[in-house]
Amino acid sequence: MKTKIFAHRGSKGTRPENTLISFQAAIDAGADGIETDVQLSKDGKLIIMHDEKIDRTTNLTGRVTDLTLAELKKADAGVKFSDEYRGEQIPTLEEVIELLKRNNFKGTFNLELKTNHIEYQGIEELVNEQMRQLPADIHLLYSSFNPNSIRRMQKINPEAEFASLFQFKIKESRLLAKNHLITSLHPDVTWLRERHGLFWPKLLIRPWTVNSTKNMIYCFKKKYDAIFTDYPAKALEVRKNIQGD
């Protein structure tokens, strides 16, 4: 089995992150999976955004939780990346699902529940309801830095796959694995390399964010289940050289 390539916030290295044009670029490149982040707006809409604030990636300011969908749609999510992408909007989860459907995407959709700083009340139930629109031939994968979010989501939809994200500390992830709540780990690639990739053999390993050629080669030679990268097109070329067509 080849190591799968998951596009981190879309083709984040070549397009404005977490925008429809970024996800489209990743699909066009041939990525095996799409990774993105979901939060809740002031009026309870499922918003695709990594940071709790929109300041870094758009021309406006404020927290996602303090802004309505209409207010968020006024933000330009492309101009800070490049003037070429001026006018790109912050998408909703529904809009991303529709994009996947239009492209007949059949890979993995990894949705990170961004609840590690703000525990959006009821977000798991809302996400589960929205995911009913996801085609059956798309593999659904939930992840979070917040173990409580994983526990809540697992109770709502025990049939889905769950992964624990972590950067330095693995204690909570080990506990989730011990209780059979996750089947995979998503560690920081630097953390992973420093510890020589020693993990429980029953867990799938998908490191992030694997952008350098050196780290890509390392992961492909280790034959990890998948990598998260900002450069899916580049990763596909490197994988071809290491693991073949």
* Residues acting as catalytic residues: 8, 50
Angle 227-137-124 from CA coordinates, rounded to 5°: 70
Classify strands 46-48 and 33-40 as parallel, antiparallel or unpaired.
Answer: antiparallel
Helix or strand holding residue 40 (H, E):
strand 33-40
In sequence order, the 6+-apart residues with CB closer than 8 A to the CB of 186 are: 143, 163, 164, 165, 166, 206, 207, 208, 228
Which alpha helices (H) appear in 120-231, and where do they start and end?
123-130, 147-156, 171-178, 189-194, 213-222
Burial class (CB in 10 A: 0-12, 13-18, 19+), 219: buried
Specify whether the CB–CB gap between 239 and 216 falls below 8 A. yes
